[in-house]
Amino acid sequence: MRILTLANLKGGSAKSTTTFNLAGSLAELGARVLCIDLDPQKTLGEAFFGVYAGSKTLSEALINDAAIEEAILPTDFENLFIIPADDGLKGIKSGQTQLEGGELRLRSCLSRLRGTLEQLSGHGQIDWILIDTPPSLDRLTMNALAASDYVIVPVDPGAGGRGALGDTIEYVYSARKWYNPTLQVAGLVINNTDPRTVYDQTTEQLVRDIYGDLVFDIVITASVRVRESAESRVPLVFCDGNEFVRYANMYRALRDEFLERVG
């Protein structure tokens, strides 16, 4: 079981969309994937997968150090499971809910989960956990980074996105220094671009000039098909219709490049 967080300070950088479609592309290969929606906005769980928190919640596991496996719910797709976000995460994010060792709560829960998944009826082994985080550098994001093996940073290459990117990378390095020395930056993936425009060509090159080989080769271009996929609650790799194939293949390429990088 390996754990990947998707993080960026900037909203609109396609964290949830990337999590949704990368999870789908991994499941397409036959991997069993658990998504964790750590964002109180609930985009990944409720808006994208259409799965709402049950009687056992993620925030309960974090606050009470309860068994996180009890919050796992199925999705409509084989090999794909999710722990949806719930309202209790708002108190953790704002700091109103005081937690001793707060930045390490998710790591503690997932460490126990790692040792028990094989015995869980209906779930079995999980190959990958993908964590979607809030568009902020707060306790929830630090929980995710402290618990993870890898981090991917989805990037909006425009001026505002580049500024937030620098802060995000510094935060990742802080997590590695203080909580998780084995955390690896798997890469930066550029999203929402139109390669036909000079502006987007220029901003993409600026990111590549600054961060070099950290930037994935694949670029996810902007398209209504990506939005339609999320609206229909179906990852692109599972969408019917030739009009989706090009964009599904982008996420397959991201998946393959990611797997190559992490071995």
Q: Which domains does the chain have, with CATH numbers?
A: 2-262 (3.40.50.300)
pLDDT in tens, 197-222: 999 999 999 999 999 999 999 999 99
Q: Over pLDDT 70: what percentage of the chain? A: 96
Residue positions counted in the chain: 263
Phi/psi for 155 (5° steps) reads -125, 130
Mean pLDDT across 233-261: 97
**Residue 119, pLDDT score:** 63
Structure tokens at 106: 């998710």
Question: Model confidence at 95, in pLDDT bands (50, 70, 90)?
Answer: confident
Q: How far apart are CA 19 and CA 94, in angstroms?
A: 24
**pTM, entire model:** 0.94
**Residue 161, pLDDT score:** 80
Q: How many CB atoms lie within 10 A of CB 118?
A: 11
Mean residue pLDDT across the chain:
93
Per-residue pLDDT for 99 more than 80? no
**Residue 96, pLDDT score:** 67
| Residue 14 DSSP label | -
Q: How far is CA 72 from CA 128, 132, 139, 207, in A?
A: 14, 15, 22, 37
Question: Model confidence at 120, in pLDDT bands (50, 70, 90)?
Answer: low
Per-residue pLDDT for 247 more than 60? yes
pLDDT in tens, 135-166: 998 999 999 999 999 999 999 888 778 888 99
Structure tokens at 116: 């028990």
